[in-house]
Amino acid sequence: MYHAAVTGWGMYVPEHVLTNDDLTQFMDTSDEWIRSRTGIRERRVAGATETTTTMAAAAGRAACLKAGIDPTELELIIVGTFTPDQYMPSTASLVQHELGASSAAAFDLNTACSGFVYAMAVGSQFVQTGAYSRVLIIGADFASRFLDYSDRGTAILFGDGAGAVVLQRSEKKEGVLSIELGSDGSAGRHLTLGGAESFVGLNGARKIDRPFLKMNGAEVFRFAVRIMGEAAATATTKAGLTFDDIDLLIPHQANSRIIEAAAKRLQMPRERVWVNVDRYANTSCASIPICLVEAEQTGRLTDGMNVVVIGFGGGLTWAAAVLRWGATGVKRGDAT
């Protein structure tokens, strides 16, 4: 068995900043309410020429550049997203074309906001078994196109963006050390996009509504706090580590209160928890890779550090992984 080291990382967020005060222009809300209940100050919103594919491709291109590989060398691209531009072709195939990654297999994976960590879990299997040695994992979402701005409890929470990592075959114990995935379909009704009525067949009633993201916030909140604690603990144990060995916790950025409550349960001090929900809100599948990029860029994440990443979202699903940052065991020619 090989290891799947993280050799490159990249992110993309749209330029357009939508502040809480901007939202008050067309919604019955306030900056004070949003800040105190969620920690969010502003979010990025995709412009007229931006799509899930363009954002994903930009993040993927940056990750390849950082890894020092040409996209033509990629063998697999997985895009975690619940907001693809089309049902078909997949966002991953569209990204493959944008990048010129002509040798890569490509598919999308939809587990809502936990999609990036799920995709990383799947991609790492191909690397660890030796089937592939260069895999691009992208998390990208364009949730703002599915928000109902008359639903103030949901619309304030989301922003758009993309993040990506390159996984490469390594001879050393680094990169993805453990994974912990799960799903509770019995609670799926608490977070949905497009009801069954959007998918009627030939003999069904023809009721095509524009699909909107709908959420039972309180239920998702309770679930998130519990599952983040449990999944992080299990992934850490599976990696043969304890929380004392964890240098950085990167939780899905949905709400600062959820993050604080989960960190408290895990007895993880604030300085070991990455938070940027104030600037981007919930970017769904992009949330965790954006955090990885920012943590690395600011010097908070360096070679040899152990990081726990934890995603949760529609399904309801969850996904945690322990990563050891660095790529010392990647052979020359496989990384810079």
Catalytic residues: 113, 252, 282
53 contacts ligand UT7 (rule: CB under 6 A): no
Nearest approach, Cβ of residue 231 and ligand UT7 (Å):
14
When the beta carbons of 118 and 126 are compared against ligand UT7, the nearer one is 118
221 contacts ligand UT7 (rule: CB under 6 A): yes
In 3D space, the residue among 252, 243, 235, 264 whose CA is nearest the CA of residue 323 turns out to be 235
38 contacts ligand UT7 (rule: CB under 6 A): yes
Q: Using CB under 6 A, which of the segments 48-56, 80-88, 169-177, 212-220 binds ligand UT7?
A: 212-220
Residue 26 burial by CB count (10 A; 0-12/13-18/19+): exposed, middle or buried?
A: exposed
Instruction: Please pick, from the candidates 217, 241, 243, 272, the single residue that binds ligand UT7 as defined by CB under 6 A.
Output: 217
When the beta carbons of 96 and 284 are compared against ligand UT7, the nearer one is 284
3-state DSSP assignment of residue 150? coil
Please give the Cα distance from 11 to 138 (Å, whole number): 9
37 contacts ligand UT7 (rule: CB under 6 A): yes
When the beta carbons of 125 and 221 are compared against ligand UT7, the nearer one is 221
Element (H, E) at 217: helix 217-238
Alpha-carbon distance values, 32 to 21, 24, 26, 84, 223 (Å): 9, 11, 16, 33, 25
When the beta carbons of 53 and 111 are compared against ligand UT7, the nearer one is 111
Chain positions 128 to 147 lying near ligand UT7, rule: CB under 6 A, are none
- Is 11 in contact with 21 (CB distance < 8 Å)? no
Q: Using CB under 6 A, which of the segments 88-96, 168-176, 214-222, 291-299 binds ligand UT7?
A: 214-222
When the beta carbons of 175 and 289 are compared against ligand UT7, the nearer one is 289
Nearest approach, Cβ of residue 156 and ligand UT7 (Å):
5
Nearest approach, Cβ of residue 314 and ligand UT7 (Å):
7
- Reading the block at residue 244, the tokens are 């004392």
Distance of CA 238 to the CA centre of its chain: 21
- Is 328 in contact with 174 (CB distance < 8 Å)? yes
- Reading the block at residue 39, the tokens are 């920690």
Chain positions 223 to 242 lying near ligand UT7, rule: CB under 6 A, are 224
Please give the Cα distance from 306 to 266 (Å, whole number): 16
- Is 276 in contact with 297 (CB distance < 8 Å)? no
When the beta carbons of 130 and 153 are compared against ligand UT7, the nearer one is 153
Instruction: Please pick, from the candidates 63, 119, 254, 288, the single residue that binds ligand UT7 as defined by CB under 6 A.
Output: 254
- Reading the block at residue 324, the tokens are 């050891």
> What amino acid is encoded at 162 in this protein?
A
CB-CB neighbours of 301 under 10 Å = 22
276 contacts ligand UT7 (rule: CB under 6 A): no
Give me the sign of the Cα torsion angle 333, 6, 72, 46.
negative
285 contacts ligand UT7 (rule: CB under 6 A): no
Q: Using CB under 6 A, which of the segments 6-14, 116-124, 135-143, 150-158 binds ligand UT7?
A: 150-158
Per the DSSP assignment, residues forming a β-bridge with 324 are: 175, 306
Instruction: Please pick, from the candidates 282, 294, 325, 326, the single residue that binds ligand UT7 as defined by CB under 6 A.
Output: 282
Q: Which residues sit at the interface with ligand UT7, rule CB under 6 A?
A: 29, 33-34, 37-38, 113, 152-153, 156-157, 215, 217-218, 220-221, 224, 254-255, 258, 282, 313
